Every structure is written in C-alpha cells, then in structure tokens.
C-alpha cells in the first residue's frame, strides 16, 4: 500500500473512497464542509438522518452529486467531549476494515478533519497509516488455501488530504507510520506461518533476505556453532527436536561506528509443545506463535531499514523448537549457561528463559546502550494483564517509564511490572545456581527475575508479549505487536 500527502480540494479528488470524519453532534470539519457545500448540503442531511453516534460507525454514500470520488465514506468519531486517541483509532480501524472488504483500490482521507483533541497532524498521519495498513492486512499462505471467499480487490493507494502545505515533520510521520505498518506485516506473516514452514531455518533465511535487501550484516550459527559459543542453556531446549536450531545475529549500522548499539533480543521458539513437561492438547496449535518475539525483531529491522534511521541496532534471535523425544532435556536435568551459571530445569515448558538467558549474555559483547528482549514468555502475564498491554520489566525505572509513555503514544501499550529482589528467592535450587521456575505466585515476575540474572551491567527492559502478540478465536492471527513500540523507541533515540 502506498501513502502520499496531497493538498487538494476533497470534493474534486478522483478516488475510490473519500473518507470524512464527523462528531456525533453532526458538525463537520473544514474538509467536510467543503464536501457538503459541493453537494448542496446533501452530505450533512444524510449524516444527520442516518449516521449513528458510536465512534467507528460508518455511512457509505456512493456517487454523491458534486463529488468526484466514487464514494464518500463518513465515519463517526463519537461524542466530541469523550474524544480521545481511542476514538481515532477505532474510527480508522473501521474504515480500514470497510475498505478491505470493498472494491475500492484507492482511498483519500480528509486528514486535517481527523485532527482533534490533544493530538497533532503528524500523530494523526502516523496513526492513520498504521491503522489502515493494519486493517487491510491479508495473510498470504505459501500453500493452497481454499476458503471460498471471493477475492476482494486490494487497496493499493491512500492519499492523505491536507488543508494547506505539509512540513517535514508531517511527511516524516507518514513515512514512519507506513514503515511501522510494513514491519508489522512481516511480523504477522511470520507469526501466522505454520511451524512446519516457519522453522528456525526459515527465520534465519528471512533474516538473510532482509540483510540482502537492506544491506545488513547477518550472521547465522548452526547447532555446532551455538555449541562452540557455549550456549548450553539454549541448546538444552533444542535437544528434543530433529529440526535444526539457529542463532541469528543482525547488525544494522546506521549510526556512527563508535556509537553504542541498542540490542533487541527475540524469543524464537518456532513451536512450543512444552517438551517432556508437555502441554495439554487444547489450543496447542497456538504455540506456533511462540516465535513472535523473534518476528517482532525482524519486523522492527524492516521498519528501521525503510526509514534509514541513523542509529546502530543489533538483533539477536535464538531460534529452536521445544519438543519431547528420547534425547530431550528432562525435568531435573542441570544445564550450564553461557554465563557459567548452572540451571536446574524443573519444567521443560519454561524454555523461553532458557534460550533468552544465553542471548542476553551474548549481548554484553556489544557494550550496548540498552537491551530489550521480547518474548511470549508466560501464561501468567495474560492472567496478570489480559490482552491489552504487554508486560514491561526493567532494571531501570526511567527506561521503563520512557517505554510505557511511547507505548501509550503509538497505541502499542506496555505496563510496568515490579522486578523486586523479594521475588528472586522463588528461584532457589538445591542442585544448581537457580531453578528455571519460581512456582505459581507472580509467574511473569519470576520469569523476568530469572532473565535479570543474565543481564550484566547494561540498561535492560523485558517485554512479555504472551497476551498481545496474537489473537485467539474467530480472529485468530498475529497482531504485529510490539513492532510499533520498538520502532517508536528507535525513532525517538534517532532524534526523529
């Protein structure tokens, strides 16, 4: 999908769908008024008669006299005094969904009219690009899929109509929204791809492809290479599977050679059966999504590459399956991590932390400015926070605060959770330096505590995306989160 900015009269624009927002009091913005005048008041009459109040409800008006667009799509922003970020997002999501199901191949948004409340035009454009692209996402299978649905036409072109000229900040914001959206699409594709296609090798190949496309250095270690590094904890998870593990290292060098990089670490368990501590059968298919942290790292690399951000970023992805077999790690086994610390594996289903801990130790060699790991780490995080925010843990409260605020801005929220020393004692083991589980209380916190033992002395945040990386049920599918949050952080660091 291509986005552009245009400063033309909305009523004169030839497009598949001209999108106009309106508050529930029926009052139109400047662009809406121009369209209304061109239709001799028909737009406002139809809005007053037929449009419902709730934000996100739509009214599609084909072939309005005096308007060049094939259709005018009116969307409600709800009540003016209740107006907030959420109303814009739900309105745009509804528009995107409608457009995706329509035959329109192009659309134009009366963007200036969407600016309301506390947010400015750049925020509105970034949000609009992200929301529209996201709502029109379609999973494309590399295998046949007979779903019987008629192929709707693809929305290819979206114009953002402005009153007056746009400045650099406005243009940059639109580019950011589009880049974030295209990163999210990659993350969603990888997440949705079944585990028999999305193997560790496939993740590595995807990284290499990104490397070719954007001139990134990409290193890939195989089982022998991982062993040579000394990642005994990571390898203990791979032991049960015939599928080859991979350790993937991506280097994005947009900044000065000496500038300390941000390191992103993504959990890449391409299928989590639980191993010998096997999971119950129901819903186990969703454990193909256990590589969404890795996919979000790749999606973020795509986004920052498209934006050519002037910073240095390293991506680390430990990728493996977690399966039971005669060679699998057993409960009670003790493994030695890259850090030298020993771990008693009391539950082979707590495997995410076992692969991440070695990657976190590996991160130290880059002398990072900050490290963020992203992982579908614990079911307990869903119990604590549900599906709205990701869990956010950090050894630096200011850093946590910064990420939490950025998440609020970009609509990809995270919530700061405690990482107090008090929880550490739950990880005590009689037979090793630590156990890999901390019992039932505060499962997402003890998982983060486990990781904290491998973070050396760098600034670190951990995002538990178990509740946010994908949706279950009728809408089953990857969400592309937290690519918006990660990319927003890197954009902020780059001073854009």
Active site residues: 279, 353
| Region binding Mn ion by CB under 5 A among candidate stretches 33-41, 100-108, 161-169, 350-358 | 350-358
Residue 378 makes contact with ligand BES by CB under 6 A = yes
Q: Which is nearer to Mn ion, 134 or 272 (CB)?
A: 272
Residues 105-124 that bind ligand BES (CB under 6 A): none
Closer by beta carbon to Zn ion, 95 or else 269? 269
Cβ closer to Mn ion: 178 or 355? 355
Indicate the residue whose CB is closest to Zn ion.
Answer: 272
For the bound state, the minimum distance from the C-beta of residue 379 to ligand BES, rounded and expressed in Å, comes to 3
If one asks whether residue 272 binds ligand BES (CB under 6 A), the answer comes out as yes
Least distance between ligand BES and beta carbon 443 (Å): 6
Q: How far apart are CA 350 and CA 322, in angstroms?
A: 10
CB 363 within 8 A of CB 265: yes
Q: List the interface residues with Mn ion, window 259-318 (CB under 5 A).
A: 272
User: Does residue 352 bind ligand BES (CB under 6 A)?
Assistant: yes
Q: Give min distance, CB of 248 to Zn ion, in A.
A: 18
Q: Is the dihedral of CA 334, 264, 407, 455 positive or negative?
A: positive
Beta carbon of residue 199, minimum distance to Zn ion (angstroms, whole number): 16
Rounded CA-CA distance 314/252 in Å is: 6
Choice between 352 and 411, CB closer to Zn ion: 352
Q: Could you tell me which of 460, 487, 82 has the C-alpha nearest to residue 299?
A: 487
Dig out the tokens for 299 from the structure. 């999606």
Strand-pair category, 262-266 with 342-344: unpaired
Measured from the CB atom, the residue of 88 and 442 that comes closer to ligand BES is 442
CB closer to Mn ion out of 159 and 351: 351
334-336 sheet: strands from edge to edge = 334-336, 342-344, 434-435
Q: 369 and 402 in contact (C-beta within 8 Å)?
A: no
Binding site for Zn ion (CB under 5 A): 269, 272, 290, 352
Question: H or E segment at 217?
Answer: strand 217-221
Report the residue closest to Mn ion, judged by CB: 349
CB of 213 to Mn ion, least distance (A): 32
Alpha carbons 15 and 35: distance in angstroms, whole number: 14
**Start-to-end CA span in the chain (Å):** 23
Query: Which among Mn ion, ligand BES, Zn ion, none contacts residue 380 (Cβ within 5 to 8 A by kind)?
Result: ligand BES
With residue 38 as reference, give the H or E element that holds it. helix 30-38
- Tokens at 246, concatenated: 């991979």
* Per-position DSSP letters for 109-121, written without gaps between them: EEHHHH--TT--H
Among 159, 306, 344, 349, binds Mn ion (CB under 5 A): 349
**Candidate list 350, 357, 385, 406; residue touching ligand BES; CB under 6 A:** 350
Is residue 464 a contact point for ligand BES (CB under 6 A)? Answer: no
Angstrom CA distances, 294 to 300, 321, 322, stand at 10, 13, 15
CB of residue 322 to Mn ion, shortest distance in Å: 6
What b/e readout covers 119-135, taking b as 16+ CB neighbours within 10 angstroms? bebbbbbbbbbbbbbbb
**Residue whose CB is less far from ligand BES, 11 or 290:** 290
**Across-strand partners of 463?**
374, 392
Compose the 235-254 pattern: x for residues touching ligand BES by CB under 6 A, - for all others: --------------------
State both tokens at 402.
């910064």
Q: Provide the binding-site residues for Mn ion, judged by CB under 5 A.
A: 272, 349, 351
Binding site for ligand BES (CB under 6 A): 272, 290, 347, 349-352, 376-380, 437, 443, 466
């Amino acid at each position: 999908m291509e986005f552009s900015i245009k400063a033309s009269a909305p009523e004169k624009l030839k497009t598949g769908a001209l999108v106009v927002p309106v508050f529930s009091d029926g009052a139109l913005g400047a662009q809406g008024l121009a369209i209304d005048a061109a239709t001799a008041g028909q737009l406002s009459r139809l809005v007053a008669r037929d449009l419902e109040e709730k934000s996100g409800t739509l009214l599609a008006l084909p072939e309005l006299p005096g308007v060049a667009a094939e259709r005018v799509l009116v969307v409600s922003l709800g009540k003016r005094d209740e107006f907030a970020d959420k109303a814009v997002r739900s309105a745009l999501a509804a528009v995107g969904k409608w457009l995706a199901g329509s035959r329109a191949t192009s659309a134009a948004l009366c963007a200036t009219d969407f600016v309301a409340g506390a947010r400015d035009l750049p925020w509105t454009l970034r949000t609009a690009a992200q929301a529209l692209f996201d709502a029109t996402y379609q999973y494309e299978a590399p295998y046949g899929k007979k779903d019987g649905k008629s192929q709707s036409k693809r929305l290819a072109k979206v114009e953002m109509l402005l009153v007056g000229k746009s400045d650099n900040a406005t243009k940059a914001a639109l580019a950011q929204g589009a880049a974030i959206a295209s990163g999210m699409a990659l993350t969603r594709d990888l997440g949705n791809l079944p585990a028999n296609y999305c193997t560790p090798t496939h993740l590595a190949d995807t990284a290499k492809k990104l490397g070719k496309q954007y001139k990134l250095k990409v290193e890939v270690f195989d089982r022998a290479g991982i062993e040579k590094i000394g990642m005994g904890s990571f390898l203990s998870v791979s032991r049960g599977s015939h599928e080859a593990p991979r350790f993937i290292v991506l280097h994005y060098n947009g900044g000065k050679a000496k500038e300390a990089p941000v390191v992103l670490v993504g959990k890449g368990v391409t299928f989590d059966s639980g191993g010998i501590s096997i999971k119950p059968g129901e819903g186990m298919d969703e454990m193909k999504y256990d590589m969404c942290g890795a996919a979000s790292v790749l999606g973020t690399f795509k986004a920052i590459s498209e934006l050519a951000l002037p910073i240095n970023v390293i991506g680390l992805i430990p990728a493996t399956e977690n399966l039971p077999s005669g060679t699998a790690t057993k409960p009670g086994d003790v493994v030695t991590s890259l850090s030298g610390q020993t771990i008693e594996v009391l539950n082979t289903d707590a495997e995410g932390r076992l692969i991440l801990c070695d990657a976190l130790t590996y991160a130290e060699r880059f002398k990072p400015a900050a490290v963020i790991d992203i992982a579908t780490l614990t079911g307990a995080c869903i119990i604590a926070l549900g599906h709205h925010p990701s869990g956010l843990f950090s050894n630096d409260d200011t850093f946590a605060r910064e990420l939490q605020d950025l998440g609020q801005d970009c609509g990809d929220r995270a919530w700061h959770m405690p990482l107090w020393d008090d929880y550490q004692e739950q990880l005590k083991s009689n037979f090793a330096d630590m156990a890999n589980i901390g019992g039932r209380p505060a499962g997402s916190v003890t998982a983060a505590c486990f990781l904290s033992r491998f973070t050396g002395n760098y600034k670190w945040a951990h995002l538990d995306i178990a509740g946010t990386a994908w949706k279950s049920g009728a809408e089953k599918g990857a969400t592309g989160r937290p690519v918006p949050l990660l990319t927003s952080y890197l954009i902020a660091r780059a001073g854009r």
